[in-house]
Amino acid sequence: MIIQNTKLTCFIEQSRIQQRTTEIAHELSKKFVDQTPIFIGILNGSFIFLSDLIREMTVPSEVDFIKVSSYAGEQSTGTIRLIKDISADITHRHVIIVEDIIDTGLTIKFIKDRMLEAGPASVTIVTLLLKPDMVKIPFPVDYVGFEIPPEFVVGYGLDYDQQFRYLPAIYRIEGNVNE
């Protein structure tokens, strides 16, 4: 399909995302029964996945958000900067970090390290998408929706230049129709 002069091809359909989100929510619900975990969504991309995930949980939970920006410097190691911190006190809490996509893993590593400084009871990482060919982190990702090749995708919260977040499925960008 073509939206705002950009050709998009569906990569993961809405029904597959819904099914996988429900599966992950049920696994998390089993793991955190009687615990009231706190979800930490990484803004902006995770907001749709997070909202679908918590509504499929069968145990109570709380929600907070963190926002960072990453700069790819002159070298391949980017620098992460904190834009908005969480408001909640997570000491002795079961924390579930929710990411939309893990590419190099720099963002998730920065946020996990920061959460650990506050002395939580546990930290669990959930990501909708993971690019295994790109990722370089010294710890496992606990829950992965889908592993994908190293291509740029949009939709279901993920943007290209702030566009396409509202799309209900995940799309690959094929190019600009004017080119």
Question: Is residue 103 close enough to count as binding ligand 5GP by CB under 6 A?
Answer: yes
Nearer to ligand 5GP, 58 or 79 (CB): 79
The angle formed by the CA atoms of residues 21, 61 and 126, to the nearest 5 degrees, is: 40
Catalytic residue among 89, 103, 159, 161: 103
Nearer to ligand 5GP, 72 or 177 (CB): 72
- Two tokens, residue 2: 């073509």
Stretch that binds ligand 5GP, among 20-28, 30-38, 87-95, 146-154 (CB under 6 A): 146-154
SS3 per-residue string spanning 56-70: HCCCCCEEEEEEEEE
Question: Is residue 45 close enough to count as binding ligand 5GP by CB under 6 A?
Answer: yes
- CA–CA separation, 144 and 135 (whole Å): 13
CB contact at 8 A, 32 and 89: no
- Two tokens, residue 36: 């009231």
Nearer to ligand 5GP, 59 or 169 (CB): 169
Active site residues per annotation: 103
Interface contacts to ligand 5GP, rule CB under 6 A = 45, 70, 99-107, 152-154, 158-160
